[in-house]
Amino acid sequence: MEKERIEELERKISSLEEDVARLKSLVYKTNSPRSKTVHAPPKQCEETTKRPAQTAAKSSQAIEEPVDWEKVLFQTWLPRIFIFVFIIGVLWGFKAASDYGLMNEKAKVVLGFVVSIGFAVTGRFQIKKGRLVLGRVLVGGAIPILMLTTFAMHSLYHLAGPTLAFILNASWIILGIIATVFYRSQALGIISAVGGVLVPFLIESNSPNALVFIGYETLLYIAFLYVAIKQKYSILYVLSAVLLNLTLLIYYSFVGDNGVKELLGMAILIQHLCLISSFFLSQSVLQVYAFTLLSSLAVTYGWLLAVFDDGTTTMVLLALVIIYAVGVYAVRSSKEKFEFFIAYLIVAVAFFIHQLVDLREGVILYVIQGLAVYYIAMTYKNLLHQLFSYTIYILSATYILVTPIEQVLSLPTLNWLVVLASILVFIWISIQKTEQDEHDTFKIGGSIVFSILSLIFATEVTAAGTNHLSANPQTLIMTAVWLGLSIAAFVIGSLKTFKTATYIGVGILFLTLFKLVLYDLPFIPMAIRALLFIVLGAIGLIISRLFYKKK
């Protein structure tokens, strides 16, 4: 029997050694792909089994390669910085040659094209030699030189008309896009995008056409958006969206309300629809796509307010709400996309509510929306949605709470009642969607908040309803209302075995006593003062007796 146990133990040790040897070979292959499988000797395997944590730490350290700062600084960033220095030097050289009469206008234009071609050819040669960053920078530098040369030929030397200059600049942008895709260089795409949006500003025309300008900028954005999506260039994806908005904003600031508002609005809506489509059709959930779309939704609403009338803005927002609602249904099988589309729908609905009704009249809708968002956030355990829900709910509830109640039957009274009811719903959602050990926290915290706000609400409503009375009746009625709340809380706590409500009732009772002693006494006649103290004392004794009875 003992011999069989020893043999079984030896077999397990042998199997363990083989497993460790395979693990070592895999780690070795990760560091040296071309190396063969190496089996560790038994002694080494035994040592590895004794210290698995140390071996794992050493393996992870071996996989991580140190940063080659020399390569980062001198091969990556040095050419990118000094290509701009070189271009500035070329411009100043042309200027000096012109000032000293060394070169006429046509020669400078020809030299500009020659230099740009030289940049492109040299860059191509460097890429073939394996100097990828330097080569791509040189090819990218050719694009702005071509555009600047075309600008000089058209605007400074008047050697070409606006049509030819526009066609040439558009050709340079197309070349930049082709080079971006061919060389797989985001830097080339960024240079081409920045140059592309500047093209219309570099063209002088006696009769500028708003449709041509806005149409060109929109099509340019779509082109670079497509490149950014295909090549997975996150910086180009964001930058192209920013550039379109910035360009249209600059154009709008110069042109003003000159019949271009509808065109600007259409361009922004096209951009937003493109962002929706790109995020919806993407195979994986990219954070940069998701948050760019969220930012675009806010920016789009700002544009709608600026360029459209209220009716058109409302209809467009309604269309966006429907689009996002359909999107929520369409991506329900993808958890991450579903959660983001819920967030977009929340924001779109908030903008729609803001557009549809006045804040004072529609603030209740924001409270309800905040509750709905909180329910969704707690259901799907999404932190972003929770932040949205807290923001919407707290802002709208605060607006209601700071609005004074001047009449008992009024909109502020209704708003207060909705807030108080929403707190109970908030507590219920929290209890339903959290762990058992967190329930008491939500019960106690929510009940305290609810009680304090109920006391404030009762005070404001009572003051509004008794403002025509003298000080003494007002004080008596207020004290009676507070006592009523205390009794109601205690009764609820007793019937529902909800101890928190009972404690809150006792707390309100003590607050009533403090109010009576510290504030009410000077305004109350002796007889009524005696009656109030008798009633208050009797209630306290009865509650105490009930506590004793329950024990």
Q: Find out whether 133 and 182 touch, Cβ atoms under 8 Å.
A: no
Q: Find out whether 142 and 157 touch, Cβ atoms under 8 Å.
A: no
Report the alpha-carbon distance of residue 323 to residue 321 in Å, rounded. Answer: 5
Cα 476 off chain centre by: 52
How much is the pLDDT for 462? 83
Report the alpha-carbon distance of residue 467 to residue 470 in Å, rounded. Answer: 8
Buried b vs exposed e over 120-158: b needs ≥16 C-beta within 10 Å? bebbbebbeeebbbbbbbbbbbbbbbbbbbbbbbbeeee
Q: What is the dihedral of CA 122, 126, 127, 133, to 10 degrees?
A: -100
Helix 383-401 and helix 411-433, axial crossing angle in degrees, nearest 10? 150
SS3 159: coil
Residues 6+ apart with CB under 8 A from 357: 365
Report the alpha-carbon distance of residue 401 to residue 291 in Å, rounded. Answer: 32
Burial of 78 per CB tally in 10 Å (0-12, 13-18, 19+): middle
Report the alpha-carbon distance of residue 4 to residue 26 in Å, rounded. Answer: 33
Q: What is the 3-state secondary structure (H, E, C) of 489-534?
A: HHHHHHHCCCHHHHHHHHHHHHHHHHHHHHHHHHHCCHHHHHHHHH
Residues 6+ apart with CB under 8 A from 172: 143, 146, 147, 150, 195
How much is the pLDDT for 319? 95
Q: Find out whether 142 and 117 touch, Cβ atoms under 8 Å.
A: yes
Phi, psi of 188 (to 5 degrees): -60, -40
Report the alpha-carbon distance of residue 430 to residue 443 in Å, rounded. Answer: 9
Report the alpha-carbon distance of residue 523 to residue 467 in Å, rounded. Answer: 16
For the chain, 551 residues long, give each residue's pLDDT as a single digit of tens. Answer: 565 666 666 776 777 777 766 666 665 555 544 444 444 444 444 444 444 445 444 444 445 556 665 555 655 556 656 665 666 666 666 666 666 666 677 887 888 888 888 888 888 888 888 777 777 777 877 887 888 788 778 777 778 888 888 888 888 888 888 888 888 888 788 888 887 887 777 666 666 678 888 888 999 899 999 999 988 888 899 999 999 999 999 988 888 776 788 899 999 999 999 999 999 888 776 778 888 888 898 899 999 988 998 899 999 999 999 999 999 999 888 878 887 888 888 889 888 888 887 767 778 888 888 888 888 778 777 777 788 788 888 888 888 888 888 888 888 888 899 888 888 888 888 888 777 767 767 777 777 788 788 888 888 888 888 877 766 677 677 777 777 777 776 666 666 655 566 666 666 666 666 565 555 555 555 555 566 666 656 666 665 555 545 54
Beta strands per DSSP E along 63-178: none
Report the alpha-carbon distance of residue 39 to residue 21 in Å, rounded. Answer: 5
Report the alpha-carbon distance of residue 404 to residue 57 in Å, rounded. Answer: 64
Give which of 278, 297, 291 is closest to 232, Cα–Cα. 278
Report the alpha-carbon distance of residue 112 to residue 149 in Å, rounded. Answer: 6
Q: Find out whether 147 and 199 touch, Cβ atoms under 8 Å.
A: yes
Report the alpha-carbon distance of residue 405 to residue 408 in Å, rounded. Answer: 7
Q: What is the 3-state secondary structure (H, E, C) of 232-297?
A: CCHHHHHHHHHHHHHHHHHHHHHHCCCCCHHHHHHHHHHHHHHHHHHHHHCCCCCHHHHHHHHHHH
- For the chain, the C-alpha Rg in angstroms (whole number) is 37
Structure tokens at 39: 């089996």
Report the alpha-carbon distance of residue 290 to residue 67 in Å, rounded. Answer: 31
Structure tokens at 549: 């009875």
Burial of 159 per CB tally in 10 Å (0-12, 13-18, 19+): middle
